[in-house]
Amino acid sequence: MIVELAEEEDHHPKIILEWGLVTLQWWSHKIKGLHMNDFICAAKSDEIYKSFE
């Protein structure tokens, strides 16, 4: 589902997999910082996560 979000937004997170933990890092490489779209994608990611709880 994160893949679909990333494709829809044309904005791709760094995905870090660890034992029992998945971390998504949304960051805009072009501006070398955070953009409003990063926060929007993070919020949408949280909603996806909550849908599985």
Question: For residue 31, what is the DSSP state?
Answer: T
pLDDT at 43: 98
Express each pLDDT in 2-51 by its tens digit. Answer: 999 999 999 999 999 999 999 999 999 889 999 999 999 999 999 999 99
Confidence of residue 53 (pLDDT cuts 50, 70, 90): confident
pLDDT at 29: 87
Q: Which residues span the domain enclosing 20?
A: 2-50
* pTM more than 0.75: yes
Which CATH number belongs to the domain containing residue 36 in this structure? 3.30.1360.20
Domains: count for the chain: 1
**18 burial type by CB count under 10 A (0-12 exposed, 13-18 middle, 19+ buried):** exposed
Nearest 5°: the CA angle 10, 47, 28 is: 35
